[in-house]
Structure 1
Amino acid sequence: MNDTVMKGFNGSERCPRDMQAVHLVFPAIYTVVFFMGTLLNTLALWVFVYIPSSSTFIVYLKNTLVADLIMTLVLPFKILSDARLGPWQLRAFVCRFSAVVFYETMYVGITLLGLIAFDRFLKIIRPFGKFFVQKPAFAKVVSTLIWLFLFLLSLPNMILSNKEATPSSVKKCASLKGPLGLKWHEVVNYISQFIFWTVFVLMLLFYMVIAKKVYNSYRKSKRKGSKNSKRLEEKMDTSEIIETEKIRLQCQFSA
């Protein structure tokens, strides 16, 4: 066992972390995501601009595209910061602003995906029903409230990162926060986890019900199709018997 590991066990020194993945691999992955995400989200948003917001699905989808596009556009700051290609002031900007915007828009998108799943769930369960939650006006109000709630939730993380930024303090974003900022960050973390797991569980339930409904509908249509085909075969058999009998009678008369 080498000295480095032994020192780690003794508590005097910890094993050095391999930061190669953080500084090389992750920035490369984020770069690919940035270019692909910017291209696809811009194209999708350009298409949906010309589609009227006449349904809740379109309203939620447009807001999701905006959230994804904003999240993608702040990625270059994280890429340059993680790859150590910019000054230390860039890292301070990432900690205070761009990272906050990134996670805010990410959870906006997650929440909207849950609402899209709920909208599909209602369309399948009650295809001819029209609840107030299926009206475009309701979707616009809910989308606005989601943006506002997550903005107000994230804003203190920007304001409370108020400690002086230095080349050493920006290495860890928590170093820029005071006690109140750290406490608020912890609260936001719990709320974010609650949003994620709630949406995840609900989406799982919604799509399980949708899949079951579609499967049952498929079985009914298949059963109905088999019955129709059997009736058709019976009719064909009857018509063949009649035709055969006609031919037989004609043969007897001609004889």
Structure 2
Amino acid sequence: MSEQQVASYPVDDTNRVKRRHQRAHYDHATVHALLDSAALCHVSYVIDGQPYCTPTLYWREGTTLYWHGSSASRMLRNLSEGQPACLTVAHLDALVLARSAFHHSADYRSVMAFGHARLIEDQAEKARALVMMVDRLFPGRTAGLRPTTDQELKATAVVTMEIEKASAKIRAAGVIDDEEDYALPVYAERIPVRSVLGAAEPCGRLMPGLARPATLSGFSAGRLLDEALTESYAMSYPAG
């Protein structure tokens, strides 16, 4: 596929990376890969002139994002007509210590996605979305759970947003100093940062004889979280 044919999000003043523009990526593959390797996002919006930023779990289907919350949420009550919103995700990969304060930095991967968020009102669509809220993380798990009650369905709101514009920004350069500063007797280094899964802690009230399902094998102690989440996403949405 040629560069001109690569699927990308449109770029304008809203999503154009202005500082360190060489770190910017607008193609679907990069943006989606960063979204699929995380589970927690922050959603920003403005209501009556007041800015809000809410952390929540989210997932992606194609170019559509979903997230959930309590039906009593101030934000969710204002989304029935569609509210401009920005969903952000960030991976911290390293702390960077340079020879000057100015060049201290971090290696990171981040995404900003823009669109108009709206509440899902259709109950069938909402029920399906809530299944995927679980199965996106743990493929096939919902089928073995106690069915969701009508009250639980009513108490949980689901928001969807078509990604209208998006940008990814990636720094993976490590230590970068001014050329003349490399001769200074100042220690510099890159400190890698990773989110690593710990050993599973089974509920203390499990029924006797219940073993950990094989479907959770991807969530094993010592594995990187972003790898486990990417694998789960690929199992739930094999078409990408």
Q: TM-score range by the shorter chain?
A: under 0.3
TM-score, structure 1 as length reference: 0.23
Q: Which has the larger radius of gyration?
A: 1
TM-score, structure 2 as length reference: 0.24
The higher relative CO (CA closer than 8 Å, separation ≥ 6) is in 2
The structure with the greater share of residues assigned to helix is: 1
The structure with the greater share of residues assigned to strand is: 2
